[in-house]
Amino acid sequence: MLQKANIEHLAKKIFRYRVLTVDNEHYLVDVDRPFIISYFFPWFLYFTSHWAIRLTEDEFNTLTTSRNDKQRNGLTHNKGITASGAAFVALLLSRAFPIEDYLYFNSHLLNIGLTLFVFGIVMGIRVWMSRRKIVSKLENNDHLIKVYCVPTTLKFIFLSLLMPTISLIIVGVVCYAVITNFAPNFVVHLGLFVFALNFLLSGNTIYFSAESTFKAKII
């Protein structure tokens, strides 16, 4: 039977895990399983079970962001300053150098090579995120349980399913443009990187967001 549940992100940004609270019990849920579905078929993540570990109260207080509001606010402020500074530097560079003169190239082989390089970086980032484990530090790490967790609003489900779909379509269009040499442009490869990474990370970063309400079943 599905019960009302609350999801929180970890204080330390590890996108593989969420903290799930069901009936005043806290669990660390691995949202990155199983491998094939979480990487290539994220649309089915809501319909599969996930491994979870019951947390002690001390572990819950240490892991959850709600216990680290001051630290989180400071990080948000610092990120805002960093982003503003990067935008300012980019503006100065665009004025000093004619960047548009370096965006195009004529080699089809280079076009294909850059595409493969982008896919290699994206997959490397995805694998690195999947290998970040913290369960060995938990008291109940040898007592794994299974959890089903689904959002309670159809709007959130629709938006979660739509995000990887749009990203996959754009990645397909870009790959077609590269193969046909229709777009020998570095900007195209930057877009490929953004949308390919968005597709591979959508299940981890969007599907189990603390911004929505959930229901869960502990098996």
Mean pLDDT of 173-195: 87
23: left (phi over 0), alpha (psi -120 to 50) or beta: left
Number of neighbours of residue 158 by Cβ within 10 angstroms: 11
Distances (CA, A) of 123 to 5, 36, 119: 32, 13, 6
Q: Which of 218, 197, 216, 199 is nearest to 208 (CA)?
A: 216
Instruction: Copy the structure tokens of residue 106.
Output: 């004529």
pLDDT digits (tens, 9 = 90+) for 22-43: 988 899 999 887 788 889 999 9
C-alpha span between 98 and 44 (Å, rounded): 46
Range with top average pLDDT, 121-135, 138-152, 194-208: 194-208
pLDDT digits (tens, 9 = 90+) for 132-153: 777 767 777 778 899 999 999 8
pLDDT at 77 over 50: no
C-alpha span between 60 and 137 (Å, rounded): 13
Instruction: Copy the structure tokens of residue 60.
Output: 């819950």
| CB-neighbour burial class of residue 33 (10 A; exposed 0-12, middle 13-18, buried 19+) | middle
Residue with tokens 């938990």: 138
Looking at residue 75, its pLDDT comes to 42
214-218 and 25-30 beta bridge pairing = unpaired
pLDDT at 92 over 90: no
Looking at residue 68, its pLDDT comes to 46
Looking at residue 14, its pLDDT comes to 83
Q: Residue 180 carries which DSSP code? A: T
C-alpha span between 193 and 201 (Å, rounded): 12
